[in-house]
Amino acid sequence: MPDTVTHTALDWDALDALKFADEEALLEGLLKEGILPQPIREGAVRRGRELVMSARAKGRRKGMMESFLEEFGLTNSEGLALMCLAEALLRVPDTETKDDLIAEKIRSGDWGAHKGQSDSWLVNASTWGLMLTGRVIGAPANAQKGAGNFVTGLVRQSGEPVIRAAMMQAMRIMGEQFVLGRTVSEALKRGRRMVKSGEAAHFSFDMLGEGARTTVDADRYYKAYHDAIAAVAADKDPALPPEKANGVSVKLSALHPRYLAVKEARVMAELYPRVLSLCEAAAKANIGLCLDAEEAHRLVISLKIFERLAREPSLKDWTGLGLAVQAYQKRARAVIDRLAILAKETNRRFMVRLVKGAYWDSEIKNAQVEGFSNFPVFTTKQGTDVHYLACAKAMLAASPAIYSAFATHNAHSLAAVDLLAADAGVTSFEFQRLHGMGEPLYEAAEAGSRVRVYAPVGAHEDLLPYLVRRLLENGANTSFVHSFLDPDVPAEQVVADPIAKVEAGPRRHPRIPTPPRLYGAGRRNSAGHDLSQIGVRGQFAAALRTLDDGPAFAAGPIISGKPETGGGELVRMPAETGRALGALREADASAIDRALEAATNFQPEWDRLGGPKRAEYLHAMADAMEANAAQLIALMAREAGKTLPDGIAEVREAVDFCRYYASQAEHDFAAPVRLPGPTGETNHLSLHGRGVFCCISPWNFPLAIFTGQIAAALAAGNTVVAKPAEQTGLTAFEAVRLFHKAGLPADALHLLPGRGETVGAALTADSRVSGVCFTGGTSTARLINRTLAGRDGPIIPLIAETGGLNGLFVDTTALREQVIDDMILSAFGSAGQRCSALRIAFIPNATADHLIEGLIGAMNELALGDPALPETDTGPVIDADARKALAGHLERMRREAKVLHQLDAGKLGEDGYGFGPALVELSSLDQINEETFGPVLHLLRYDPDNVAAIAASLKAKGYGLTLGIHSRLESFHNAVKAACPVGNTYVNRSMIGAVVGVQPFGGEGLSGTGPKAGGPHYLHRFATERVVSVNITAQGGDPELLSL
């Protein structure tokens, strides 16, 4: 594997050891160090209280944001409704959707409760307007009876333009509170007025917004940053040093569409020269340039970029190189310690901005979703505040090598930093605040001459939504701003000593479970792997080397625990067809007979073990898969063409299946359940295995679905004969061996690899099979169903999950960047080889061209290649037949529709079964009637008036597996869901990656029989029910009745 690591003098990768550190232990260590001397602790609380009381007493210069948070907050329907409007309204191009969004959000609030309560005329005016608007918009819902409905309708129609104009103006006013100017020149002009009035000393301008998705986006941001530097330079006194002048802040993800740790080689080759160019321009003008802090997974790569900049000869005399550090990250203080070392090594001075952090919610959720061992951030506000103080102390101790900038809107933090600096004898430092927030605090502190305002610059329709999302995401800090000026909250509570809070405990949030405990005590979450860490990537590289350098696989049937190998067909790698992994021997008639006989004979004994004992074997298998995850992922990369993220998700899903079904077996299959009935009689219901289950699994999930089917059947008391897809028999062979190594009785599970038309046909026709679980194509499911129907003997269940023609409906309120991300992942992730994958997206005419442009740009950033490499986004399709079918479909689309774009498969297409992802625009839904199993995304434009009809047309195709909706309108969600019911609907997120027990998976119609895999009803379909009724009075009376 190629070396994609940037070698720097400081081992930034070593910081990964702290990324998921135990929060309680970390805070305990900080407390033992003694973060603040007792006099400073007491002084900070006292000074903080004075600031709060002073700000409240002055009662003026309260920013709109403070007034808004004080009045509405973010935890009630009114506050959230306004934030939703601010996030979406300005980007909606059509008046009809604007009106729908306004009506829906305003109806949701009790605006009368807020009328006249705020001391801000703007908030009060808004409340009155919203209350009146709510009455007008809500009137039809309250006037459905009587003749007044007609009159009310006229009022509503005539009022809509006025309401719309008022709301648009309100959003622009809110935008001006957050955004200093549409251009840097405009921001500089407005900033000069603020400096003159004493509100600020300097500014740091940033072109904030969503990160780049395309090269075009990155180019636009790059030009904007260069223009900003030029404008600031032109406005600057050349004699002033960077800390005494305005500067710029740069968001690295805006400058490159794939700014990720796994893309390190590309980032250093493409992004670094751009950052260096910006820094050289800033250095020439002698202004500060600060690299913004972003998500935790980008920290190490940002530090590697920073070190390279620090060692650049062209920047050696410049003292304006800056970096933002997030105190909510557990690695923050270690970062500061290394920055101090780097400053001394390079004889440089750095400008370091200490912030609390703005992505808290997403960091918590991401760690839980990815199954990490812990969180990269503190879970309590007081934990972050204590770490902030520890970081501040370290920064001041490193002065003058570090010029400190403390970004805070927290009165206690400000007071404590001031006292720490005085104690350390440091006078050269500054505070920072976000434009539109914190004015009352800094006015009370009379610190305007020491404050730099972090000032977003850009169009309101771009910036306001971004800032609102950060505000909503960072609830802990906004709750402080809310309480700071609220007279009902005691000042002592607002500035309570965070160290005392941590000392008192708890030291981690009791209601935020760590990722392993996400599902409570009953089921442990599957363990994930953080590919942003070089050590994790190294583990996978080592496993791959072991596989590649090891002996060829020899696989075949496993009967009663004994492998039958030798001979068979060569198994070739779909990414490199010239290489063979090994050989797979097909089960013959004798193997099939012996497996069925052994499974039939052992099933009664297996059933008698009971659910709790069977669950022990499934828990053991789950643990075994986690212990062997790297080896399984390497094998799937070679045999199935799975990328590393897909392989990680696959192992986790298999583990989750085992633990989830084990939990159900422990509960539902433990003992008979007594049913209600008359006295003198007992009635008990018990669940039992049906017999031998035949599990037929697909190649696209060679471990997860293969294991999930088996685990469910075993948990319910059945023995299993498993027939995997012929393309992925090696993975199935290793999985069955792992089952047996984990302790599963040899006769409980047998492996019968081979083709469907031979092995599959023989199994489904055999009377010893008591049930079939199948995942695959609809036509194959029909064939199995006919075979089972034609058998003499008992009618047995067929549990079938098949494909779908999965649609995504997008409206004009949707966020373009989020839509692009989810469409790319849903359509092209796993090379489109998921039954849940997005096949057709319905996009509104008003935004279609802009969205298509972004989609094509994002497609161009995908890396096709060896799926075992961490930088690869898309691997091959499974075999020659799959590629041929895709090529044939695309050729038809070129004749009948319009192929907008297709990527070149490049070397992957030459060496293996690579197929370039393609984007096709249809003119009619009639042009596609079934799923195309691969990386082909179809688009169909629509007018808003036709959305219900189009959804109904999609339903008429007969499938019902997954459905996606991207909209900020609940009415749109509901209309689409009603018109096109499916098994799994995903709103404002991707359409793939259903999690066991969280999103039970399965379709309806042509997409499957149900019940849903990974859901509460699945196991019961594998079982038969028995009831025993006993007349206990036959022996002389009812003991329970007699004992009353």
Residues 773 and 854 in one domain: no
**Are 471 and 567 members of one domain?**
no
- Segment (H or E) for 30: helix 23-33
C-alpha distances in Å from residue 1013, one per residue of 145, 164, 635, 775: 46, 46, 25, 11
The C-alpha atoms of residue 648 and residue 825 are separated, in whole angstroms, by: 16
Q: Is the residue at 550 inside a domain? A: yes
- What is the tally of structural domains in the chain? 4
Q: Which residues pair with 689 in a beta bridge?
A: 1023
SS3 137: helix
Beta-bridge partner residues of 938: 840, 920
885 and 925 in a common domain = yes
Tell me the longest C-alpha to C-alpha distance in the chain: 107
User: What confidence score (pLDDT) does residue 956 get?
Assistant: 97
Q: The domain spanning residue 832 has which CATH number?
A: 3.40.309.10
796 and 828 share one domain: no
How much is the pLDDT for 844? Answer: 97
Instruction: Please check whether residue 518 lies inside any domain of the structure.
Output: no
**Ramachandran angles phi, psi of 81, nearest 5°:** -65, -45
SS3 673: strand
Whether 659 and 615 have beta carbons less than 8 Å apart is answered as: no
Residue 180 backbone dihedrals phi, psi, to 5 degrees: -70, -30
Tell me the C-alpha distance between 482 and 71, whole Å: 8
Residues 413 and 541 reside in one and the same domain: no
Neighbour count for residue 914 (Cβ, 10 Å): 24
For residue 104, tell me if it sits in a domain: yes
Q: Which residues contact 838 (CB under 8 A, 6 or more apart)?
A: 806, 807, 808, 823, 826, 827, 937, 962, 964, 991, 992
**Pick from 124, 141, 176: which residue ends a domain?**
176
Q: Is residue 726 part of a domain?
A: yes
- Alpha helices, H only, 179-214: 184-196
Tell me if 328 is assigned to some domain.
yes
End-of-domain residue from the set 741, 776, 802: 802
Same domain, 197 and 147: no
pLDDT for res 144: 32
Cα(399)–Cα(336) distance, integer angstroms: 12
Element containing residue 463 per DSSP (H, E)? helix 460-473
Same structural domain, 225 and 339: yes
Task: Identify the DSSP state of 293.
Answer: P
Task: Write out 321-346 in H/E/C secondary structure.
Answer: EEEEEECCECCHHHHHHHHHHHHHHH
Q: How distant, in Å, are the alpha carbons of 325, 418, 421, 809 from that of 430?
A: 15, 10, 10, 49
| Dihedral class, residue 838 (left if φ above 0, else alpha if ψ from -120 to 50, else beta) | beta
Decide if 55 is inside a domain: yes
Task: Determine which one of 66, 801, 861, 921 is catalytic.
Answer: 801
Same-domain pairing of 43 and 78 = no
Establish if 75 belongs to a structural domain: yes
Cα–Cα distance for residue pair 556/565, rounded to 1 Å: 5
155 CB-contact burial (10 Å; exposed 0-12 / middle 13-18 / buried 19+): middle
Angle at 913 between CA 912 and CA 916, to 5 degrees: 115
Pairing of strands 918-921, 898-902: antiparallel
Which residues in the chain land under pLDDT 50? 1-7, 111, 115-116, 118-158
Cα angle: 121, vertex 126, 130; to 5 degrees: 150
Residue in 458, 400, 405, 412 with CA at minimum distance from that of residue 430: 405
Contact call for residues 255 and 225 (beta carbons, < 8 A): yes
Same domain, 167 and 300: no
Q: Are residues 358 and 421 in the same domain?
A: yes
The domain that contains 357 carries what CATH number?
Answer: 3.20.20.220
**Is 176 tagged catalytic?**
no
Strands (E), 171-315: 202-206, 247-250, 289-291
Are 151 and 199 part of one and the same domain? no
Residues in the chain: 1044
How are beta strands 807-810 and 553-555 bridged, if at all? unpaired
Half-sphere exposure of 674 (CA within 13 A, CB side): 7
Distance (Å, whole) CA 362 – CA 365: 5
Confidence at residue 370, expressed as pLDDT on a 0 to 100 scale = 98
Kindly report the CATH number assigned to the domain that includes residue 541: 3.40.605.10
The last residue of one of the domains, among 176, 203, 229, is 176
Question: How many C-beta atoms lie closer than 10 Å to residue 549's C-beta?
Answer: 7
Instruction: For tokens 């991401």, name the residue.
Output: 366
Point out the catalytic residue in the list 279, 694, 695, 835. Answer: 835
In this structure, the answer to whether residues 608 and 741 fall within a common structural domain is: yes
Residue closest to 358 by CA, chosen among 437, 266, 469: 469
Strand order in the sheet with 681-689: 673-674, 681-689, 1023-1031
Domain region containing 737: 534-672+682-802
Q: What tokens appear for 808 in the block?
A: 């995504």
pTM as predicted: 0.93
In whole angstroms, what is the distance from residue 880 CA to residue 800 CA?
26
801 tagged catalytic: yes
**What tens digit of pLDDT does each residue of 555-592 get?**
999 999 999 999 999 999 999 999 999 999 999 999 99
Q: What is the structure's pLDDT at 5?
A: 46
Say if CB 702 and CB 640 are below 8 A apart.
yes
Q: Is-contact 354 406, C-beta < 8 A?
A: yes
In-domain check, residue 251 = yes
